[in-house]
Amino acid sequence: MTLTHLQRLEAEAIHVMREAAAEFERPVMLYSAGKDSSVLLHLARLAFAPAKPPFPLLHVDTMWKFRAMYELRDRAAAEAGMELIVHRNPEAETLGINPLDHGSSLHTQMWKTDGLKQALDRHAFDAAIGGARRDEERVRAKERVFSFRSAGHRWDPKRQRPELWRLYNARKSKGESFRIFPLSNWTELDVWQYVEAEGIEVSSLYFAEPRPTLERDGTVLMVDDERLKPGPGEQVEERWVRFRTLGCYPLSGAIESRAATVAELIEEMRTGRQSERQGRLIDRDGAASMERKKREGYF
Amino acid sequence: MTEKTLLRLITCGSVDDGKSTLLGRLLFETGSAFDDELALCGDDLSRLVDGLEAEREQGITIDVAYRFFATDSRKYIVADAPGHEQYTRNLVTGASTAELALVLVDARKGVLTQTRRHSYLCRLLGVSRFVLLVNKMDCVGFDRAVFDRIVADYAALGEDFTAIPVSARSGDNVALRSRSMPWYDGPSLLEHLEGIEPEAESDAGPFTMPVQWVSRRDRRGFAGTVTGGSVRRGAAVRVMPAGTRATIARIALGERELEEAAKGQSVMLSFTEDVDCSRGDVVASAACPPEAADQFEATIVWMAEEELVAGRQYALKLAAQSALATVHTPKYEIDVNTLEQVPAHGLQLNGIGVANIWTDRPLVFEAYEDNRDLGGFILIDRVTNETVGAGLINYALRRSNNIHAQVLDVTREARAALKGQ
Ligand SMILES: Nc1nc2c(ncn2[C@@H]2O[C@H](COP(=O)(O)OP(=O)(O)O)[C@@H](O)[C@H]2O)c(=O)[nH]1
């Protein structure tokens, strides 16, 4: 019996999650309601069935996610019967930090980077399982599956450990922690093929439908609620759009498309040929911006 | 389209032999690179596989990177281990999961000491298939004599391999066959890779599954990844090291029940009997379960700046088993350039030595050459928590006392019989 690539990727991800569950005292799974989160949650359920996964879900909220993502998040957590912890950075909340007035950089830093660190510290989580993939960014190609973080959540390329075979070194001192990436070896295409093969529910935002949008600085944004107001010369128009990656709605560029099924999405990917981060406004802050963000503790 | 197989590769070569260009070329030719990334590269495809900031400044790659490309029938995971002299550690890491090695040689330079070293390390780590890529054929006028000479030199190393003359920069014989080398009538690299048969089931050995996690819901479930052979519902197994007999009642993947689980699959097993079994135990074929021992001879690759201290205790991890291990003074070191055994003076970063090691508890194991997952271990410094060494078990020096002798005798005979086939 020769295993397919999806079977092998699935087996590896399950192995990694079980290893994390066995080796850490307080693991948590990050859940953002994106497609990678949906796949990760599905795999966690496979890994421990018939029991529930032995860790809670953590959503680091920014107040600006698409409404459809909040709905999916609550429903998916309830269906899995897992505890869902939602953390919002109180300081960002008090200061009213938002992407429209403060820019993507500060917004992301305070809500996501600082928010994640706060949440991990508050609950004393020693390992955060996340859905990042090595193909997302060139600098992620060297990321470990068990990625070590010094006290203060700093990522230091020199302190990462060699990973041989299926062996992961999970030892650490007080205050140190890990980020665990079971989907390290998956590509975007693998994720979609797996979603299709397993019938996993992903956000409706990945599929095209007519949505209220406006165009700003060459990017089509969805007007998901009244907080995004058309500026001078801008107008709200209905367009057939979908999203390739999901984050805060004012920072997520839409793609004009008619692809309404996973099969159609995969077909568009074959011909479309832009990388995933095209639509991610936070990645346009600078050439090696992802690496800098990682050193500061971004996921 | 979802019915693809997976092949894990490692690329080996010295700095500037064209590894990055070749990888970039493979990504480009298989449509695995995106247009916006390609636009940033200009006409230098090596820039598709750029590294971390610190490395970019130094102009060298210092760590293993994993890249992906795919065709309609296969997904490839490539461990891109840097070719720099000192990085035995990285090559060993990348080779530990690779099934096939792409060995690059610059046509103008021929087979170098490094070529020899890389091939040796891949072989040591269990890579069984080799492709010799004689690159930069454009620089030698696509001359057949140059290629033939390099192939003959490499053949002298005694590896089994396939040789292909290529130009990573122009793409000759990478995906498409070259028009400039009519004298070569073999496949292009990609054609060759597509034709590689996955490891045959008969090579997978007897069934083994290290238990990672025990689920206590309803009936107890024992979760792990099959590291050898396969198992069917109803099969007789033993739980090692105790040797307890059990019968497989159920094989599950999530809510799905399977008839059979094969090497590489992560499953949850339940037994008909109520047996003691916890993390670290190995569920194995009843006919020939692996042995347990607490003294081994192992080949050790040292990976830390601080040298190996003989007599010090290190934390050891082998499959799901943890123990404390003491490494004796190495018997000898292997000079990776000449492949000769030389007297060992400790073991420094990137050194490879053969040493006896003993553990504070018996470990279920197999020889590394029979099973990578049950024969490969890591050593961890108990103060810094860093992974300081990797070990490959050659054989056990002494059987562990607390194993039923009877189980072992059965094991030895069964294994001898199996190997004799
Ligand atoms: N003429 C020629 N140059 C090549 C070829 N492959 C790579 N190069 C050049 O060799 C140099 C080193 O290549 P690179 O891919 O960076 O090597 P690496 O250090 O092994 O990754 C670069 O200037 C490449 O453009 C080839 O097939 N022909």
Write down the pLDDT at residue B412.
Answer: 55
Q: Is the CB of B13 under 6 A from ligand 1?
A: yes
pLDDT of B139 higher than 80: yes
Of the two residues B201 and B237, the one the predictor is more confident about is B237
- Calculate what percentage of chain A has a pLDDT beyond 90: 71
User: What average pLDDT does range B314-331 have in this prediction?
Assistant: 96
Confidence band for A156, pLDDT divided at 50, 70 and 90: confident
Specify whether the CB–CB gap between A49 and A76 falls below 8 A.
no
Distance from the CA of B49 to the center of ligand 1, in angstroms?
A: 13
For the CA of B44, the nearest atom of ligand 1: 25
Confidence band for B85, pLDDT divided at 50, 70 and 90: low
Question: Do the Cβ atoms of A50 and B215 come within 8 Å?
Answer: yes
pLDDT of A104 higher than 70: yes
pLDDT by residue (tens digit) across A219-260? 999 999 999 889 898 999 999 999 999 999 999 999 999 999
Write down the pLDDT at residue B33.
Answer: 81
Chain A positions in Cβ-Cβ contact with residue B37 (cut-off 8 Å): 138, 275
Min Cα–Cα distance to chain A from B214, Å = 9
Question: Do the Cβ atoms of B70 and A6 come within 8 Å?
Answer: no
Q: Which of B66, B127, B222, B368 is the mutation pick for testing A, counting most A CBs within 10 A?
A: B66
Q: Is the CB of B67 under 6 A from ligand 1?
A: no
User: What average pLDDT does range A154-172 have in this prediction?
Assistant: 90
Q: Is the CB of B61 under 6 A from ligand 1?
A: no
Mutational test site, ligand 1, from B46, B112, B143, max ligand atoms within 8 Å of CB: B46
Write a three-state SS string for chain B. CCCCEEEEEEEECCCCCCHHHHHHHHHHHCCCCCHHHHHHHCCCHHHHHCCCHHHHHHCCCCCCEEEEEECCCEEEEEEECCCCCCCHHHHHHHHCCCCEEEEEEECCCCCCHHHHHHHHHHHHCCCCEEEEEEECHHHHCCCHHHHHHHHHHHHCCCCCCEEEECECCCCECCCECCCCCCCCCCCCHHHHHHHCCCCCHHHHCCCEEECCEEECCCCCEEEEECCECEEECCCEEEEECCCEEEEEEEEEECCEEECEEECCCEEEEEECCCCCCCCCCEEEECCCCCCEEEEEEEEEEECCCCCCCCCCEEEEEECCEEEEEEECCCCEEECCCCCCEECCCCCCCCCEEEEEEEEEEEEECCCCCCCHHHHEEEEECCCCCCEEEEEEEEEEEEECCCCCHHHHHHHHHHHHHHHHC
Write down the pLDDT at residue B89.
Answer: 87
Distance from the CA of B168 to the center of ligand 1, in angstroms?
A: 7
**CB nearest to A165's CB, from B2, B216, B373:** B373
Write down the pLDDT at residue A295.
Answer: 60
Chain A positions in Cβ-Cβ contact with residue B320 (cut-off 8 Å): 19, 22
- pTM of the shown model: 0.92
Closest residue by CA, ligand 1 atom 11: B16
For the CA of B17, the nearest atom of ligand 1: 20
Chain B positions in Cβ-Cβ contact with residue A24 (cut-off 8 Å): none
pLDDT of B391 higher than 80: yes
**CB nearest to B212's CB, from A18, A159, A193:** A18
pLDDT by residue (tens digit) across A271-290? 756 666 555 554 444 444 55
Distance from the CA of B104 to the center of ligand 1, in angstroms?
A: 11
Write down the pLDDT at residue A272.
Answer: 59
Of the two residues A134 and B41, the one the predictor is more confident about is A134
Of the two residues B116 and B300, the one the predictor is more confident about is B300
Write down the pLDDT at residue A283.
Answer: 46
Distance CA B125, CA B90 (A): 12
Tally C-beta pairs within 8 A across A and B.
174
pLDDT of B59 higher than 60: no
pLDDT by residue (tens digit) across B255-296? 999 999 999 999 999 999 999 999 999 999 999 999 999 999
Distance from the CA of B46 to the center of ligand 1, in angstroms?
A: 8
Write down the pLDDT at residue B404.
Answer: 47
Write down the pLDDT at residue B403.
Answer: 47
Nearest chain B alpha carbon to A13: B266
Least confident of B4-13, B152-161, B240-249: B152-161
Confidence band for B36, pLDDT divided at 50, 70 and 90: confident
pLDDT of A96 higher than 70: yes
Q: Is the CB of B180 under 6 A from ligand 1?
A: no
Q: Give the ipTM.
A: 0.91
pLDDT by residue (tens digit) across A185-199? 999 999 999 999 999
Min Cα–Cα distance to chain B from A211, Å = 26
Of the two residues B413 and B227, the one the predictor is more confident about is B227
Q: Is the CB of B17 under 6 A from ligand 1?
A: yes
